[in-house]
A and B are shown apart, each in its own frame.
Chain A
Amino acid sequence: MKKRNKIAFTLIAVIVGFMVAIQFNTIKEPSIKQVKDTRDSYELRSGILKEQKVQTELVKEIRNLEEKLAQYETTISQSKEQVLSETLEELRSNAGMTSVSGKGIIITIKPIEENILLGENVQNVSPDLLKRLLNELYQYDAKEIAVNGQRIITTSVIRDINGQTKIDGKSISRDSIEIRVLAENAQKLKERIQVSETIDNFYVDNYEVTITNPLDIVTLPPYQNSLKIQYMEPIDE
């Protein structure tokens, strides 16, 4: 074999060897990942403990960061940008992200006890009925509504998921539902809702609706989930 031929042959051999080695590496890798988890319950428990420690660390870190954020917020409120943050706060309260209190009424929906004693099954409060009640409340000038500590906002959904009535994905209690309503004229609201047909419909479903007299201070919690904004985008300048 000529010398030049030999060099070409050797180069090709190097390339082939290289390719084989890479393929070997590639094939070898996944088998390590797919090793079966053969830890017994004690080892799993110690694993959980380890993860819990990590979790506490993370929670601590989150708390630190939140404190820092709070500090920044206070410095912002003291600065010239106060107006901006005030606007932000206003918008947040409009969107239902802050807790509010004011004049209002509390509506309680409970299963009728006599019917339970008679052995009738208590069904879930139907989401349609609940929706209707809330719509009616808004119609009669209710400002803010919270159901069982869950604030109702513009995008809140009330629906039946696997036989359970849920508001924004969280189930509401079957035993008693407390609806807190804020209104400018709570007395008027109460009178109007008391004679409403929806209340009668609750009776048909074996639920009893009681409405408190107008209270001076009713407190509503903020909306707890994060807001998902799907269709809004900032304008490009």
Chain B
Amino acid sequence: MIQSFFKTREVILGVAILVLLIAIASRFPAFVAPRNLANVFNDTAPLVILALGQMAVILTRCIDLSVAANLALTGMIVAMLNTIMPGLPIPFILVIAIALGALMGLANGLLVWKLEIPPIVVTLGTMTVYRGIIFLISNGAWINAHEMSPSFKAFPREVILGLPVLSWIAIFVVIGFIVLISRTPLGRAFYAVGGNPHAAVYTGINVGQTQCAAFVLSGALAGLTGYLWVARYAVAYVDIAGGFELEVVAACVIGGISIAGGIGSVGGALLGALFLGIVKNALPVINISPFWQLAISGSAIIIAVAFNATSNRTKGRVILKKAEHAQ
């Protein structure tokens, strides 16, 4: 029992994060001050939110490469809305951002569900389309800090009980996901669809619909993050969060979510995102050449995937042998 506990992905990753923090602290002690760790968590919050959305999609054997473009487009639209109507209350902006994001996720989902196009192709396409739309509506121009209203920029920074709103939103999304994944039919359906689609059909689960729901969820979270991102960095332009979709997928992979679908946990995705977040925040302060930074981030991903591959492979073999014996 204890042995299997230490073998779980979350514990190993937790230990890896601790080791990482100790190593960083040996070079730069101020990094592990509680205040700074809170900053690192806040900086990682968008990654956590997106990684959870991505997890739902990956669980159903799909992938969503359009999250960063969705984030950028939603961010641009709400920023433009804010310049036209500076008085629009923040709750409205949040609702609009989530709805827009969900709509873009729905576009992905319907293409995967109704036309049965491979998700990687669909989202690669919509990724480019969404980025293109940003250019069309903005004409390539930036929305800058002085054009946004103060309340629009202040919302994610507002400190409640020692943490900024941005961090709290990430925490609520994590809690929401724990409930969704473990306590609702939809959450269980994600696993069923990814684990064995044919068996899922026999239990009465609509595979396409479940995948579509995962895309809508991922899109809605990307939309929410779009507003938070633009407000936090106080700038919106075509290329914001360029390449961020790969970081989100990497966080999931490091967190032990199997690209083949059906395997993964909320804790894994959270720790995967935190691991990447800590690496990204620590590298600038420990004075490593920028070329090494890329190599280090890349190696972390490959090690995680290699680890996944070996641990998942043994499991599969055992099941097959049992099945053989049964016959």
Q: Do A and B come from one complex?
A: no
B-side residues, CB < 8 A to A, are none
